[in-house]
Structures are given as structure tokens and as C-alpha cells.
């Protein structure tokens, strides 16, 4: 029996040493020390031994059990530590790994142009005014010196909702509304916003687009003030070397009325494909506020005068960024939009 015990012990210790992980080692524990294992069997068989051998054999079996248990515990501690170390190793965070880039959006090119223009005029003391896109015929036309039946209404094909309500065809009604609200006081505003016309969409026309209106009313406001203001605007938007040119034009709400051109920013005036060989680019309409418009809004046109202008941010953005089709601004193809990353801080 002693020899048997020795073999058992050697075997168990070998298996413990050969165990490579906690699970395997637990298997060895159950196999040798468990209720159905050989050591328990030996202890159980003790009763069959002659009484005088029992104490000695009992002690021997206990020594073996303790040795095997001690070896198991030692190996278990080692394997557990190894397992923890392996886990720590595999889970280390490499703080030097580059981060995953976050996809950020950027301002729409039209928004950029509008904000740039707003910033410029705010720096010159203007306030921003807004008005409804669903507008009364009165503000869209009549208060701007375009009574019912006026032929110039035809230039602005319109979406009527009722006979007296339509989608505004320009931002000029905000002029009339602001004048009415200010009750004869001086005004210095720009009015950005959406406008609508019953146009067939093509590369240069859209049934919906944006405009920015400007209106200044005060004592002694003259054409030279308009010209100076537009010159500052042209230089800020298209470069310091820009010249401006005013050509006579007609708008029912201004008298005199002008169209403003800027010297071509691409060729400097010598003629190229951008300016269609003319050296000039048409940018906006403007003029001195018509006395009828002032009087209709309750202003004394003898005491106060003013100038106004209206421009299309789409056209400005198309020129500035070389966009060949106005529909790009509305179809929202990210391949188009992502080209306008904001670089300025």
C-alpha cells in the first residue's frame, strides 16, 4: 500500500506540474482529491487494514494528501497570476494610436456668402431685418410702387396663394414693412431671405433662391453714399482691386435706378470667359428710394431720402467659387458641399 501511495503521489505531482491552466488544474484536483478520487478511496479502505497498521497508514495518506494539496495550491496561485497577466497584456491601451477622425460638417456655401455679407454690413452699422416668405400682395408689390396691373409685375412670375397673398418674389417687401414699423425714423438694414418665382429651373434659374436687400434712410442720404457703400462691398467680396460701374436701369421702387457691375475679378477687366469678354460682371440692382415708396410708408420724402439695393447670394457664390449650375446649391450632393471647407478661423 505504501508503494501504491508513492506512485499515486508522484503521478499527481507530475500532473499538477504539467497543468497549463486553471481549468486543467481543477481537473487534476477533482481526479486525485475529489470524493471519488484514489486518496479518498484509500482513506475509506482504512477500515479493512489490521488495527495496528491503521495509524501509520492513516498518517501516510494524510501526508500525501497534504503534499498534493499544497502543490496544487502553489500551482494554482501561479496559474492564476499568469492568467491575470495575460489578460492585462492583451487589454493594454495603446495611447499612441492615432484617434479615429470625427466627420464634421461645414457651412453651406450660400450660408457662408450670406454670413460674409451680413458681417460686412453689420460692421458698417446695419441691422438685420427679416420678413415673412408668405407675403401680402400689398408689401410685395403695391407698397413698392407696383400697383395692380403694373407691367413690371410680369417680370416676377409669382406663386399666388390667394389673390392678395403670394410667396414673396423678392426681399424688397421687408423694406416696406420696416419703413411702416419705424414710423418715419431713419433706417439702416439688410434683409437676407428666401424668395420664390414661377421659373423653370435650369443652370441659372431656380423657382426658389435667396436675396439680400439693403435699405438706408436718413437725412441727406445721396447717390454718392450708395456708390461708396457698394464699392466697399465689391472690394470686400471680390478683392481690393475691384472697380464698380453703375449703369442706368429701371425699378419701380427706386428713382434713379442702377445696375452695379464690378470689374472682372478673373481677368481684371481685359476680358475672359467669366465676364464673357466684357471685363465686367453684373452683381446687383440699386437706386434711390422712390418718393412714392417713402410717402406710402409715412415718410416725409422732402426731409428724408434713402438708397436701396438687392442682390442674389447664389450669383455671388457662383462667381466667387466658380459654380456652373445654381441647382448644385439645392440638390445637396455631398461631393459638391464638402468642397467648401471653412478654412478661415
Which residues of the shown chain bind ligand DAH in the complex (CB under 6 A)?
170, 172, 213, 251, 254, 285-287, 308-310
Our CB check for ligand DAH shows the closer of 309 and 329 to be 309
Our CB check for ligand DAH shows the closer of 226 and 275 to be 226
Our CB check for ligand DAH shows the closer of 307 and 340 to be 307
Asked if residue 255 belongs to a known ligand binding site, the reply is yes
- Residue 344 CB, nearest approach to ligand DAH (Å): 29
- Residue 332 CB, nearest approach to ligand DAH (Å): 25
- Residue 226 CB, nearest approach to ligand DAH (Å): 9
Our CB check for ligand DAH shows the closer of 251 and 329 to be 251
Our CB check for ligand DAH shows the closer of 145 and 254 to be 254
- Residue 214 CB, nearest approach to ligand DAH (Å): 7
Q: Are strands 305-311 and 165-167 parallel, antiparallel or unpaired?
A: unpaired
Grid cell digits, residue 219: 437725412
- Residue 284 CB, nearest approach to ligand DAH (Å): 7
Q: Give the C-alpha separation, 176 to 254, whole Å.
A: 13
Annotated binding site: 255
The annotated binding site for Mg(2+) is made up of: 255
Amino acid at each position: 500500500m505504501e508503494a501504491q501511495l508513492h506512485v499515486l503521489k508522484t503521478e499527481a505531482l507530475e500532473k499538477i506540474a504539467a497543468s497549463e491552466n486553471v481549468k486543467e488544474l481543477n481537473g487534476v484536483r477533482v481526479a486525485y482529491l475529489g470524493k471519488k478520487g484514489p486518496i479518498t478511496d484509500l482513506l475509506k479502505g482504512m477500515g479493512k487494514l489490521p488495527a495496528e497498521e491503521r495509524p501509520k497508514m492513516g498518517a501516510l495518506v494524510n501526508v500525501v494528501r497534504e503534499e498534493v494539496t499544497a502543490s496544487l495550491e502553489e500551482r494554482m496561485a501561479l496559474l492564476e497570476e499568469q492568467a491575470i497577466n495575460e489578460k492585462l497584456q492583451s487589454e493594454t491601451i495603446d495611447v499612441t494610436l492615432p484617434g479615429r477622425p470625427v466627420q464634421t460638417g461645414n457651412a453651406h456655401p450660400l450660408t457662408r456668402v450670406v454670413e460674409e455679407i451680413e458681417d460686412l454690413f453689420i460692421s458698417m452699422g446695419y441691422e438685420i431685418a427679416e420678413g415673412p416668405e408668405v407675403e401680402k400682395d400689398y408689401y410685395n408689390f403695391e407698397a413698392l410702387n407696383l400697383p395692380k396691373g403694373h407691367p413690371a409685375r410680369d417680370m416676377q412670375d409669382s406663386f399666388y396663394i390667394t389673390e392678395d397673398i403670394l410667396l414673396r418674389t423678392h426681399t424688397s417687401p421687408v423694406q416696406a414693412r420696416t419703413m411702416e414699423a419705424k414710423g418715419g425714423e431713419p433706417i439702416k438694414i439688410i434683409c437676407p431671405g428666401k424668395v420664390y418665382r414661377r421659373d423653370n429651373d435650369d443652370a441659372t434659374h431656380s423657382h426658389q433662391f435667396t436675396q439680400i436687400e439693403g435699405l438706408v434712410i436718413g437725412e441727406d442720404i445721396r447717390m454718392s453714399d450708395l456708390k461708396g457703400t457698394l464699392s466697399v462691398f465689391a472690394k470686400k467680396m471680390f478683392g481690393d482691386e475691384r472697380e464698380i460701374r453703375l449703369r442706368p436701369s429701371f425699378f419701380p421702387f427706386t428713382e434713379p435706378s442702377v445696375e452695379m457691375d464690378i470689374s472682372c475679378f478673373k481677368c481684371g477687366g481685359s476680358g475672359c470667359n467669366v465676364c464673357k469678354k466684357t471685363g465686367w460682371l453684373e452683381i446687383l440692382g440699386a437706386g434711390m428710394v422712390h418718393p412714392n415708396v417713402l410717402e406710402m410708408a409715412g415718410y416725409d420724402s422732402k426731409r428724408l431720402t434713402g438708397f436701396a439695393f438687392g442682390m442674389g447670394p447664389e450669383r455671388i457664390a457662383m462667381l466667387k467659387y466658380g459654380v456652373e449650375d445654381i441647382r448644385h446649391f439645392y440638390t445637396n450632393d455631398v461631393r459638391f458641399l464638402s468642397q467648401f471647407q471653412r478654412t478661415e478661423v
